[in-house]
């Protein structure tokens, strides 16, 4: 979006704030907007399989057209009057126009061993994206677990669900149930513990059946992935824009305009 505006010579230099740079299962296509930037890029659409590559490409091309990029988190906003105010830890940005493009973030569970820091295994065996992180060499040919009951959980190895039915679409359920490599564990919750070598990485789960038996079993695994849905990254708006019941920005039908004439970014 910053690149499109910069190429159109709108609001130079554009102050473009990156709220989140985390990749969640991304396959991106780019086309002739990048013509001439690199020899390998021409008027035909191409596929970038490495998300870091495409972010670097966007970044470099945007800067060529005068975009000023701040890699900071917007903590709150004030859209009550113009110029609009965006507050960050190190600065406050004033803007006549704001485009909201924060997308959604993966929901995380909270249980023993799921957090960051001491005693937790987040990013040390526990992750939110089996597609992007599961391909890492540390997980190759290793036992893995996915927690969830929706569509995104239906393509994995062990699937642990707290109920005895899935919310996933019927076709995804059928696909999972028909795969011999996928084992289902129903009515259960978990706690995580470390590896036996003391390397500070995930070693396994204590799996407790909370509905039927109350039994606790031990499951040796190398990776655990959450697949329980997403939530919009709009908490920083704090009532400044109209949101729907799920927290997504409400736009006027047929447009990207919001309740205060800001704009919500959309995928084409």
Q: Decide if pLDDT at 25 tops 50.
A: no
133 has catalytic annotation: yes
DSSP H stretches of helix in the chain: 2-7, 51-64, 130-133, 170-177
pLDDT of residue 13: 42
Residues 6+ apart with CB under 8 A from 97: 11, 84, 262, 263
Residues 6+ apart with CB under 8 A from 221: 142, 143, 144, 145, 158, 202, 203, 204, 205
Report the relative pairing of strands 263-264 and 183-185 from DSSP bridges: unpaired
pLDDT digits (tens, 9 = 90+) for 139-174: 888 889 989 887 766 656 788 998 988 888 888 888
pLDDT of residue 263: 59
- Alpha carbons 235 and 188: distance in angstroms, whole number: 31
More confident residue, 5 or 75: 75
**Mean pLDDT for the stretch of residues 238-255:** 89
21 has catalytic annotation: no
pLDDT digits (tens, 9 = 90+) for 72-128: 889 999 999 999 999 998 999 999 888 888 878 888 899 999 999 888 999 899 988
DSSP track, 48-85: E--HHHHHHHHHHHHHHTT-EEE-----EEE-SSSSEE
**Mean pLDDT for the stretch of residues 26-49:** 38
Place of tokens 């149930």: 177
User: Of 7, 23, 132, 195, which one is the catalytic site residue?
Assistant: 132
User: Of 133, 195, 218, 246, which one is the catalytic site residue?
Assistant: 133
pLDDT of residue 1: 54
pLDDT of residue 14: 41
More confident residue, 25 or 236: 236
Residue 191 pairs with which residues in a beta bridge?
A: 206
pLDDT of residue 101: 84
> For residues 3 and 62, is the Cβ–Cβ distance under 8 A?
yes
Q: What is the mean pLDDT of the chain?
A: 77
> For residues 221 and 156, is the Cβ–Cβ distance under 8 A?
no
Please provide residue 208's backbone torsions phi and psi, each rounded to the nearest 5 degrees.
-115, 125
Q: Decide if pLDDT at 136 tops 70.
A: yes
7 has catalytic annotation: no
């Amino acid at each position: 979006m910053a690149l499109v505006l910069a190429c159109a010579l709108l609001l130079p230099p554009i102050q473009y704030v990156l709220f989140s740079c985390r990749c969640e299962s991304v396959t991106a296509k780019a086309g002739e907007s990048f013509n001439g930037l690199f020899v390998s890029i021409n008027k035909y659409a191409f596929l970038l399989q490495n998300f870091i590559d495409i972010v670097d490409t966007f970044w470099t091309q945007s800067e060529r057209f005068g975009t000023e990029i701040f890699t900071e988190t917007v903590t709150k906003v004030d859209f009550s009057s113009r110029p609009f105010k965006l507050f960050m830890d190190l600065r406050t940005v004033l803007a006549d126009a704001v485009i909201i493009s924060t997308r959604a973030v993966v929901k995380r569970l909270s249980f023993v061993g799921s957090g960051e820091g001491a005693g937790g295994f987040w990013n040390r065996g526990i992750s939110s994206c089996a597609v992007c992180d599961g391909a890492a060499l540390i997980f190759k040919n290793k036992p893995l677990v996915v927690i969830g009951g929706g569509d995104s959980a239906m393509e994995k190895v062990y699937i642990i669900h707290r109920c005895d039915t899935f919310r996933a679409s019927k076709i995804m359920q059928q696909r999972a149930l028909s795969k011999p490599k996928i084992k289902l564990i129903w009515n259960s919750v978990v706690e995580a513990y470390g590896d036996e070598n003391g390397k500070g990485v995930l070693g396994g789960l204590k799996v407790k059946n909370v509905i039927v038996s109350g039994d606790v079993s031990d499951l040796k695994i190398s990776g655990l992935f959450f697949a329980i849905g997403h939530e919009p990254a709009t908490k920083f708006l704090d009532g400044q824009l109209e949101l729907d019941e799920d927290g997504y920005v409400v736009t006027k039908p047929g447009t990207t305009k919001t309740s205060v004439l800001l704009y919500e970014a959309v995928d084409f």
